Chain A
Amino acid sequence: MSKTQTVFCVSPARAGAGNVADLLIKAVDATNADPTKDRRGCYKRGDVVAVKPTGWQWGKEEGPPRFVRLTLTQVDGVTPVWSVPKGWTPDQPIGEPPADLKKYLQSELDFFYQPTKRRAWTCLLDSAAAPVTTDLTTKGTSSLTVDVAKALMQNKSTGLTDASAPALL
């Protein structure tokens, strides 16, 4: 394991009661010479790969250089909505993300429900505030409130961000 990955894995951002979920986000483009496969199948920088509750134990390779991770805190900064339940063991389902976050995992579909893009939403990582981009560059992880994160989530089809949606919590 690289030194960078070690820092990433022991990130203290997960411990607080104000965290709601972690987003695992692709940091680099995958490409394919076949334009259909490239568009439909390849993850691009900013695509959300997984949403897990705060406290989730991420894998050793779920960090730089392929991924970054955003820990989302609630708007009130206090009440956790989705964290690993006390006493949870791996043989129990962890459940699925809140709907407002689960949508970031959806593919873009055509009229016949066939996928046209791997993800319908992208996280505008390069548009984040300087402290966040610095954290992502140096540590591979950062923390944001949900409302700030939503302002960074852009629908690939409409070009609109998710900031105008109702508050998550």
Chain B
Amino acid sequence: MARTRQCAMSATMSAPRPSAFTSSTDRMIARVMEGVVHVEAGGDGGAPGARGVRIDPRRMPHSGAGVVWARDTRGALIVSNAHVVTREPVRVSGQDGVAHAATLVARDAVRDVALLWCETVPEPWRPVPPPTRGTTLRAGQVVMAVGHPMGVRHAVTTGVIHAVGPLTSDIALPAPQRALNWAQLDLALAPGNSGGPVVDAHGHLIGISTMIARGLGLAIPVAEVDQFVFAAAGPARLAYGWTRDA
């Protein structure tokens, strides 16, 4: 009897060691995913054109990802890229794929950020955990992007921080955008990642996936998104008491 128990003990003790890494990472990623939505903007919202019907590219919807920024009982604030949310109507969907209508609150085409308001908030949606105050990004630290690269829903991509700051002059971007602060990532982003979160190893938000330049992934640092959201929705936030706490 004692012998059997000992065997069972050693089995449970040897098993968790290799899996501790993956299970804690799994929990962290699962938590981040609760705050990631699919965003589709523009188009008429109907079925794609039938065979032989000429498709007007201006009527095709744009799609990408979005981050649940804050929520309360009345609705949720969602952040995405301005190049994803080019115009209304906007539809957002969580992991269950159910689409909800959202409205465009504010949009900054240079900083490439947009703020959405969604009045229906499904229970599983929780804001992506914000960074702990005072954390700085370090070159080489592990980061993960969650989005829908090439249409693959809620996919995770891993890499490291390449550098933080404005871009070097040889990258082909308009000067105002080059001069902005970017979290530059050695991480493979693809169309569909745009607007989704980039998190650190703790699962805390560090930026919004925005574009690819010379193979580098570029993300808007979370502090700058904070400023944008506060400017656009600060008064409302005070009135309604939105919370980013989980």
A and B bind: no
